[in-house]
Amino acid sequence: MFDYLIVGAGFAGSVLAERLASQAGKKVLIVDIRNHIGGNAYDHYNEEGILVHKYGPHIFHTNSRPVFEYLSQFTEWRPYEHRVLASVDGQLVPIPINLDTINKLYSLNLTAFEVDQFFASVAEPKEQIRTSEDVVVSKVGRELYEKFFRNYTRKQWGMDPSELDRSVTARVPTRTNRDDRYFTDTYQAMPLHGYTRMFERMLSHPNIKIMLNTDYRDVINLIPYNEMIYTGPIDLFFNYCYGKLPYRSLEFKHETLNKPVHQSAPVVNYPNEHLYTRITEFKYLTGQEHPKTSVVYEYPQAEGDPYYPVPRPENAELYKQYKALADALPNVHFVGRLATYKYYNMDQVVAQALTVFNALQEQEAQAARFAPDRQLVTAESN
Ligand code: FAD
Ligand code: UDP
């Protein structure tokens, strides 16, 4: 008998498996339909011996000390600050847009103060910032919006930024200084031996059994368990009864090139050219030395594995309907990016999973307070 059946061995499922096994003494079965643990953060050495991220570049960054300290139990870190260039008007310039982006793009020599004035002169003030178009146009004006954001977003999401919540492009700030880091979080680092190694250490507890290549729907009636943690797509769990929740997909084209370096930055974005959005060169991320180099191209797709929830009002409404069904199931706990339909980064999923663990502990403590005799009987009969 398992105390918990956990569906999905990504961050959400693995954090909960680890906590439940090591801190609460629970017996856990973690099931994943894929042939590996780690979910979308899975990495592996390819046929040439280069460490690559199977599902696109995963860069760890967080402002949460508890999240960083929690993961630090399972990995050492390699300090890494991510940088991205965008190919615009035949040049490679820093994104997020900063002072150097503007000076390079327009052959200017502005100061931080002057670039601030420049943004103010081109910005289109909006009464209400509602969409992903509003966010950018109200800060840097229409021209820069069109050069950097409009087409990238259309390619990535299959819709215009005016149809997407503001939260999507708000992920990318605008700067008047020369800071060209993609993130400014307090903690920015990559797991020294990769994500998969970190997940192996999280899941190595004797109370955790792992079952790969398994759709939970094929085993759910065969395996005795008390509670379920579900981290797959929420609409799939309910058999799409209200219709499909849109998730955006990607196709990853991996390539290994017979040269030590391919591009001048870890990631180059292509807002306006090509069918792909960006090229990532993994050795920058991992620090690995190798005479060859591996890159991945990301081609956005409407169909395929679900990678991104699509933040827009009608989808939030549909999600709410599914969430009401989820809330009515006290023994199934929905956690993670797909199950709670949130455009979460890895650290946010870890934080959410730790919160769910605390809530489960609290629930159990309460149940024990209200029914001490029942607990005693269960404990004795075990
Ligand atoms: P997942 O990792 O998706 O895990 C869910 C698991 O459930 C999967 O392994 C899946 O196989 C399994 N599953 C689904 N259905 C079933 C079923 N029927 N039966 C059994 N198992 C099932 N975050 C960052 O912080 N930094 C980044 O740089 C970053 N880059 C990203 C780049 C890309 C291209 C993508 C797609 C995401 C990126 N993220 C990044 C986000 C990050 O991947 C997620 O926040 C995190 O992996 C979510 O973890 P999760 O456990 O919620 O979901
Ligand atoms: N974006 C853009 N141009 C860029 C970078 C980002 O238009 O050069 C927009 C796009 O809509 C993208 C969103 O900002 O989906 C968030 O970018 P981020 O790099 O955070 O996306 P992720 O890494 O999650 O795919």
Q: What pLDDT digit, counting tens, does each position of 105-163 carry?
A: 999 999 999 999 999 999 999 999 999 999 999 999 999 999 999 999 999 999 999 99
Amino acid at 230: Y
Pairwise CA distance, residues 315 & 118, whole Å: 37
At 379 the pLDDT is 46
Which ligand is nearest to the Cα of residue 297, counting in written order? 1
Mean pLDDT of 316-333: 98
Which ligand is nearest to the Cα of residue 308, counting in written order? 1
pLDDT above 90 (res 58): yes
How many residues are present in the chain? Answer: 382
Measured from the CA of 339, which atom of ligand 1 is nearest?
52
Pairwise CA distance, residues 12 & 230, whole Å: 9
Query: If DSSP codes are grouped into helix, strand and coil, which group holds residue 252?
Result: strand
Which ligand is nearest to the Cα of residue 171, counting in written order? 2
Nearest CA to ligand 1 atom 14: 232
Check residues 172 and 375 and name the one with the higher pLDDT: 172
**Ligand 1 centroid, distance to 41 Cα (angstroms):** 6
Q: How many C-alpha atoms does 91 have within 13 Å on its Cβ side?
A: 14
CA distance to 165, 214, 359, per residue, from 322 (Å)? 20, 24, 21
Q: Where are the beta strands (DSSP E) in the chain?
A: 2-7, 28-31, 43-45, 51-53, 61-62, 77-79, 84-88, 91-95, 187-191, 208-211, 225-230, 247-257, 267-269, 278-281, 293-301, 308-309, 332-334
Among 37, 58, 183, name the best residue to mutate to test ligand 1's pocket (greatest count of ligand atoms within 8 A of Cβ): 58
Confidence of residue 374 (pLDDT cuts 50, 70, 90): low
Question: Any idea where the domains of the chain sit in the sequence?
Answer: 2-80+187-253+305-359, 91-170
Q: What is the CA radius of gyration of the chain?
A: 23
Nearest to 144 by CA among 118, 162, 170: 118
Mean pLDDT of 214-236: 98
Mean pLDDT of 185-210: 98
Q: Work out the percent of the chain whose per-residue pLDDT is above 90.
A: 96
At 382 the pLDDT is 42
**Ligand 1 centroid, distance to 38 Cα (angstroms):** 8
**Ligand 2 centroid, distance to 207 Cα (angstroms):** 40
Pairwise CA distance, residues 206 & 18, whole Å: 10
Q: Give the pocket of ligand 1 (CB within 6 Å).
A: 7-13, 31-34, 39-41, 55-59, 215-216, 231-232, 250, 307, 336-338, 344-347, 349
At 381 the pLDDT is 44
Measured from the CA of 169, which atom of ligand 2 is nearest?
14
Mean pLDDT of 200-220: 98
How deeply is 192 buried, as exposed, middle or buried, from its count of CB atoms within 10 A (0-12, 13-18, 19+)? middle
Which ligand is nearest to the Cα of residue 346, counting in written order? 1
Mean pLDDT of 305-327: 97
Which ligand is nearest to the Cα of residue 96, counting in written order? 2
CATH architecture of 2-80+187-253+305-359: 3-Layer(aba) Sandwich (3.40)
**Ligand 2 centroid, distance to 134 Cα (angstroms):** 15
Contact 314, 242 (CB under 8 A): no
Nearest CA to ligand 1 atom 12: 8
Residue matched to tokens 């306006």 = 272
At 370 the pLDDT is 85
Mean pLDDT of 317-333: 98
Measured from the CA of 152, which atom of ligand 2 is nearest?
7
The chain-wide mean pLDDT, for the chain, equals 96
pLDDT above 70 (res 380): no
Measured from the CA of 148, which atom of ligand 2 is nearest?
3
Per residue in 157-168, pLDDT (tens digit) is 999 999 999 999
Pairwise CA distance, residues 174 & 112, whole Å: 12
Pairwise CA distance, residues 148 & 132, whole Å: 13
- The DSSP letter of residue 43 is E
Mean pLDDT of 167-186: 98
**Which phi-psi region, left, alpha or beta, contains residue 274 (left: φ > 0; alpha: ψ -120 to 50)?**
left
Mean pLDDT of 283-307: 98
How deeply is 273 buried, as exposed, middle or buried, from its count of CB atoms within 10 A (0-12, 13-18, 19+)? exposed
- The DSSP letter of residue 98 is -
What are the φ/ψ torsions at residue 264 (nearest 5 degrees)?
Answer: -90, 5
At 371 the pLDDT is 76
Measured from the CA of 182, which atom of ligand 2 is nearest?
19
Residue matched to tokens 């300290």 = 69
pLDDT above 90 (res 237): yes
How deeply is 373 buried, as exposed, middle or buried, from its count of CB atoms within 10 A (0-12, 13-18, 19+)? exposed
How deeply is 225 buried, as exposed, middle or buried, from its count of CB atoms within 10 A (0-12, 13-18, 19+)? middle
Nearest CA to ligand 1 atom 17: 215
**Ligand 1 centroid, distance to 235 Cα (angstroms):** 16
Among 55, 60, 144, 153, name the best residue to mutate to test ligand 2's pocket (greatest count of ligand atoms within 8 A of Cβ): 153
At 317 the pLDDT is 98
How deeply is 37 buried, as exposed, middle or buried, from its count of CB atoms within 10 A (0-12, 13-18, 19+)? buried
Among 190, 218, 231, 254, name the best residue to mutate to test ligand 1's pocket (greatest count of ligand atoms within 8 A of Cβ): 231
Which ligand is nearest to the Cα of residue 342, counting in written order? 1
